[in-house]
Amino acid sequence: MTVKQISVFVENKAGRLAELTEYLHQHDIDMRAMSIAETQDFGIVRIIVDDAYKTSCILKEAGYVVSITPVLAVEMSDEPGSLFGILKALGDGGINLEYMYAFLTRKGGTAYMVLRVEDNEKAAEVLNKNGFRMITQDVIVNL
Amino acid sequence: MEHYYQPEIECASREQIREWQDERLAKTVKHVYENVKFYRKKMDAQGVKPEDIRSVDDLHKLPFLTKDDLRDAYPYGLLAVPLGDCVRIQSTSGTTGRRVVAFYTQHDLDLWEECCARAIAAAGGTKEDVVHVCYGYGLFTGGPGLNGGSHKIGSLTLPMSSGNTERQIQFMCDLGSTILCCTPSYAAYLAESIWERGLQDKIRLKAGIFGAEAWTEEMRHDIEEKLGIKAYDIYGLTEISGPGVSFECSEQTGMHINEDHFIAEVINPKTGEVLPDGEKGELVFTSITKEAFPLLRYRTRDICILSHEKCSCGRTHVKMTKPLGRSDDMLIVKGVNVFPSQIETVLLNQGYPANYQIIVDRHNNSDTIEVQVEMTQEMFSDNAGIVAEREKKLVDALKAMLGIYVKVKLVNPKAIARSEGKAVRVIDRRNLYQG
């Protein structure tokens, strides 16, 4: 029901993000999605990758501070109004969003919304009830 | 023309000063031996009796006193008179860990204020002057000391305290302040603000008395030029009384120590050996006129040089250089004493690792302090709000500990250089100490 999101601490300094992505590239990690939350002096890079386990291992080895969080990745059609449908369902169900970001895949017509909520199970139940589909980690690998 | 507050004391013969010191030292040693268990125990352990201390020549027989001793004795351990005879408390900066509380009888306050009055007079102050005090008031000795000194002279005193630059400048213009008392960095800031507003012609300042932090000759020239004044240095520490332990005269080549109240020695900080005039070492003070809180051979940790050379101002009291450094790791930031160990305590309490670096700098004549802390797995979260909140909690805890704003910068793990052996905890980019 969930996918694994990897969050990495990156201090706000020129070249830090390039360093991180170069390192991922060297280890042949394929990113599916990425979002950055920034404050004045640091950023949190959140990524969804093909191999979450390997990614977290190599990052920790390189001395990065990393956390793995299960998040929901909801399928939606790539057309106006689909995000509204998801958000309305969550709102009506009393689910609070901490943050979210979207990604597209090579397959046309489908977009995915990554949702970070406090209670994944409860949110999944609400989404299921409203006919939305969530993908799992195995699906991510093959996207 | 040189101004004095107490010319008969400030210009007394060396013999006369020596006579005062011998007599007052013996009296003070007897006083603390009889009234303070701490001194009695320490002197007994050293095998020294009050009768053994007859003159300044015997001073070296007494044990040293350190800031740790003062901290251990908190609050009443070194009090030498009944609490009922005390009328005031002042305290050093730092709210925990390194707190030192000093007690004053009315007599002690009078002598402290007289010392400050001498400093104001040396800067040309008379009863016709308007003395603008923007040192902090309260537990900090800066405000109360200069305020009291100004009263002794009979000058009109403006107890401005620190902050609110708009109002400082307005009062300076409207009330015709002639002598400014504050930290040198605030003086430089005020000077700049006055020029920005184009009010330099409305200012009637003629002198400034600036202390509580290190400053360079360049800074002095800058302030003197911008404000059209003569800038005088002043030195002191709460433990010994407060500002006015020593002060500059018109010659501006060192600060005269008020030797009728304080005996100064310079020692080798490693061996404790007393050094002759002209040699650089740690400054040690013995207060010989105080009632409530007399300190014998207190190690200031300030490094300086003493000189008995004749001064053109006519004063005969020994001169000390500006502090040339510290024999411990204390930093003075915005006039506040900061020990790296205090910062370390806060970091550990807040769950951060003890891997940190303190970076002190000065921008536009104002001190800045930044603590770089390495991010850890435990303190991290995928939620930026949570990390920022933890960071703010750390800033608040540092502020509570030190009394000043410390910028926190979270850095990548291992980002702080590990040097071989001793870690470099402090990078001070100000280069304040000359010589």
> Which residues of chain A have a CB within 8 Å of the CB of B415?
11
Query: Closest Cα partner for B234 from B180, B297, B290?
Result: B180
Count of domains observed in chain B = 2
What's the pLDDT score for residue B377? 86
Chain A: closest CA distance from residue B386 (Å): 11
| Residue B196 and residue B64 share a domain | yes
CA distance linking residue B118 with residue B150, whole number of Å? 10
pLDDT at B435: 45
Q: Is residue B42 part of a domain?
A: yes
Say which of B382, B388, B411 has its CB closest to residue A5: B382
pLDDT at site B422: 52
CB pairs under 8 A between A and B: 56
What is residue B43's predicted lDDT score, i.e. its pLDDT? 96
Dig out the tokens for B345 from the structure.
Answer: 């305590």
B187/B332 Cα distance (integer angstroms): 17
Query: Which of B284, B328, B327 is closest to B306 using CA atoms?
Result: B284
**CA B386 – CA B315 distance, rounded (Å):** 61
The verdict on B290 and B365 lying in the same domain is no
Residues of B at the A interface, defined by Cβ within 8 angstroms:
375-377, 380-384, 387-388, 409-415
Identity of residue B131: V
Inspect the interface and report whether the beta carbons of B384 and A37 lie closer than 8 Å: yes
Minimum-distance CB partner of A39 among B384, B413, B414: B384
Do B304 and B410 lie in one domain? The reply is no
Task: Indicate whether B212 and B227 sit together in one domain.
Answer: yes
Partner-chain residue, chosen from A11, A16, A67, that has the shortest CB–CB distance to B382: A67
Domain-terminating residue out of B273, B302, B328 = B328
Helix (H, G, I), strand (E, B) or coil at B385: helix
Q: Cβ contact (<8 Å) for B415 and A37?
A: no
pTM: 0.74
Same domain, B369 and B236: no
Measured in angstroms, the CA of B164 and the nearest CA of chain A are apart by 27
- What domains does chain A contain, in order, with CATH numbers? 3-69 (3.30.2130.10), 70-142 (3.30.70.260)
- A44:B413 CB<8 A: no
Query: Quick check: B36 and B79 in contact, CB under 8 A?
Result: yes
The answer as to whether B1 is a domain residue is no
Q: Which chain A residues are Cβ-neighbours of B412 within 8 angstroms?
A: 9-11, 16, 63-65
Which residue, B328, B350, B369, sits at the end of a domain?
B328
What does the pLDDT average to over A37-58?
Answer: 92
Q: Report the alpha-carbon distance of residue B108 to residue B292 in Å, rounded.
A: 7
Q: CA–CA separation, B149 vs B112, rounded Å?
A: 8
In a domain, B29, yes or no: yes
DSSP secondary structure of B16-68: HHHHHHHHHHHHHHHHHHHH-HHHHHHHHHHT--GGG--SGGGGGGSPPB-HH
**Considering the domain boundaries, does residue B2 fall inside one?**
no
The DSSP bridge partners found for residue A37 are A44
Whole-angstrom distance, CA of residue A41 vs CA of residue B295: 46
- In this structure, the answer to whether residues B293 and B392 fall within a common structural domain is no
Q: Strand pairing partners for B184? A: none
Which pLDDT score is estimated for B433?
Answer: 67
DSSP state at residue B322: P
Q: Can you give the CATH number for the domain in which B393 is found?
A: 3.30.300.30
Domain membership flag for residue B433: no
Q: How far apart are CA B410 and CA A11, in angstroms?
A: 7
CA dihedral B212, B218, B221, B226 (to 10 degrees): -90
Nearest chain A CA: its distance from B372 CA (Å): 11
Segments forming the whole domain that contains residue B420: 332-428
| B292 and B413 together in one domain | no
**How far is Cα B204 from Cα B18, in angstroms, rounded to an integer?**
41
Of residues A10, A43, A98, nearest to B383 (C-beta): A98
pLDDT tens digits, B348-385 = 888 887 778 999 999 888 899 999 998 988 889 999 98
Q: What residues contact residue B326 under an 8 Å CB cut-off, 6+ apart?
A: B301, B302, B303
End-to-end CA distance of chain B: 30
Do the domain assignments include residue B435?
A: no
Tokens for A23? 């390192």
For residue B382, give the nearest of A11, A38, A44 by CB distance: A44
pLDDT at A118 over 70: yes
Residues 6+ apart with CB under 8 A from B343: B356, B358, B371, B398, B401, B402, B406
Same-domain status, B253 and B135: yes
Tokens at residue B394, please? 């750390």
Q: Which residue of B has its CA nearest to A63?
A: B413
**One domain, residues B315 and B345:** no
Return the CATH number at B236.
3.40.50.12780
- Write out the E strands in chain A: 3-11, 31-38, 42-49, 66-77, 97-104, 110-117
pLDDT in tens, B219-269: 899 899 999 999 999 999 999 999 999 999 999 999 999 999 999 999 999
Please answer whether residues A83 and A91 qualify as being in contact, where contact means their C-beta atoms are separated by less than 8 angstroms: no
Domain boundary among B297, B328, B359: B328
Q: Can you list the residues of chain B whose pLDDT is less than 70?
A: 93-98, 418-423, 433-435
ipTM confidence score:
0.87
Do B378 and B289 share a domain, yes or no? no
The Cβ of residue B348 has, within 10 Å, a number of other Cβ atoms equal to 11
CA B382 to chain A, closest CA, distance in angstroms equals: 5
In-domain check, residue B149: yes
Rounded Cα distance between B135 and B211, Å, is: 9
DSSP category for residue A134: B
Q: How many CB atoms lie within 10 A of CB A1?
A: 16
> Are B188 and B95 found together in one domain?
yes
Which whole-number Å values give the CA distances from B201 to B38, B98, B156, B180, B195, in the listed order? 56, 44, 22, 16, 9
Mark whether B294 and B365 lie in a shared domain.
Answer: no
Q: Report the phi/psi class of residue B49: left, alpha or beta, with left for phi > 0 and alpha for psi in -120 to 50.
A: beta
pLDDT tens-digit map of A80-109: 888 999 999 999 999 999 999 999 887 777
Contact residues for B358 (Cβ-Cβ < 8 A; gap 6+) = B331, B340, B343, B369, B370, B371, B372, B425, B426, B427
How far apart are alpha carbons B156 and B178 in whole angstroms? 10
Q: What is the DSSP string of B198-218?
A: T-GGG----EEEEESS---HH
Nearest chain A residue to B408, by CA: A41
Q: Is residue B434 part of a domain?
A: no
Residue B236's SS3 state is strand
Residue in the structure block whose two tokens are 């009263």: B151
| Predicted pLDDT of residue B95 | 45
Inter-chain CB proximity A38 and B384 less than 8 Å: yes
User: Closest approach of chain A CAs to the CA of B362, in angstroms?
Assistant: 20
